Amino acid sequence: MIGEDGDQPAQGWMRERLHPAWAQALRVDRVLYDSATDHQRLRLFENETFGRVLTLDDVVQVTTGDEFIYHEMMAHVPILAHGAARRVLIVGGGDGGLAREVLRHPGVEHVTMVEIDAGVVAFCKAFLPTVSAGAFDDPRLALVIDDGAAFVARAGDSFDVILVDSTDPVGPGEVLFTETFYGRAKRRLAPGGILVTQNGVPFLQGAELATTMRAFRALFADATCYLATVPTYAGGPMALGWGSDGTARATPVPELARRMAAAGLALRYYTPEVHAAAFALPGYVRALMP
């Protein structure tokens, strides 16, 4: 294990081979950590452009340089569209970035965050504190170390917004992409609630989005996805699945702007106009909708 007392410089390049016909490489300027938990291998290194880069099993999960894009779009699109979200469930999200953005809404009274791997949370608190930015200390946050699918399957409180901040559908994250999981998640939504899921890069992971959308179309009156461009999730814009039986997606831009101002949000990527445009899907993505 390499820790901060044993940082190692100039380690060459990290190659991510998530896709069979595509790889990306990030220069490793300094290795900060290299170890394994009970569930997965954690590595952290520094890159001149992207800052600190966290990988799980050699797949990029978060970088301090561009994490704000993903976390802002996953959190603020459903919460501002909903307009009255009080209770939010986060499945995954061990780095704390999504919790950070959700908790920026003063109207949110309680956030339950269910993360399967306590080691990821402890690691991110120690090595990526700027990502969570104090979210783990917010009294509105309840951190539950549990399997997200098992948590959702149990009877319990309902939520206005459920955010599935999962890894790709391999290993521990695979169960979070099943029709059974989505159906159980829907049962935990309050009336008018919204389910948002991480669905990868459609150009390279089209089957992932198509499978989710097939399940969503069977479950929800309003089922689609929206897009965000995150540089380290390479291969095109990434998709975030959207499922709801309400009409929140029709919230007009001026109302989104009013809600954003009322919440006192000053954001780096999200704007009400970007919110609306994110649902305008290119043809190849629309073709993946069953």
- Residue at a domain's end among 43, 63, 83: 63
139 and 51, same domain (yes or no): no
Give the pair of three-digit tokens for residue 160: 């206005």
115 and 37, same domain (yes or no): no
Provide the pLDDT for residue 258. 98
Provide the pLDDT for residue 177. 60
Provide the pLDDT for residue 167. 62
What is the CATH classification number for the domain harbouring 20? 2.30.140.10
Q: What total number of domains does the chain contain?
A: 2
Active site residue 160: no
- As a whole number of angstroms, the distance between CA 174 and CA 270 comes to 29
Task: Give exposure, 216-225, as e/b (b: 16+ Cβ within 10 Å).
Answer: beebbebbbb
Q: Which ranges of the chain have pLDDT less than 70? A: 1-11, 36-39, 167-177
185 and 239, same domain (yes or no): yes
Q: Which domain holds residue 50?
A: 4-63
Provide the pLDDT for residue 5. 44
**pLDDT single digits (tens) 143-174:** 999 989 899 999 789 999 999 997 654 444 55
Provide the pLDDT for residue 168. 58
Catalytic residue among 95, 117, 160, 165: 165
Provide the pLDDT for residue 18. 82
205 and 130, same domain (yes or no): yes
* Cβ 108 vs Cβ 135: under 8 Å: no
What is the CATH classification number for the domain harbouring 272? 3.40.50.150
45 and 89, same domain (yes or no): no
95 and 201, same domain (yes or no): yes
- As a whole number of angstroms, the distance between CA 45 and CA 109 comes to 35
57 and 172, same domain (yes or no): no
47 and 147, same domain (yes or no): no
Give the pair of three-digit tokens for residue 78: 């459903």
List, in sequence order, every residue forming a beta bridge with 147; answer none if it has no partner: none
- Residue at a domain's end among 29, 46, 63: 63
Nearest to 75, CA basis, from 103, 115, 44: 103
**pLDDT single digits (tens) 55-66:** 888 889 899 999
190 and 85, same domain (yes or no): yes
Provide the pLDDT for residue 1. 46
86 and 209, same domain (yes or no): yes
- Residue at a domain's end among 12, 40, 63: 63
137 and 235, same domain (yes or no): yes
88 and 115, same domain (yes or no): yes
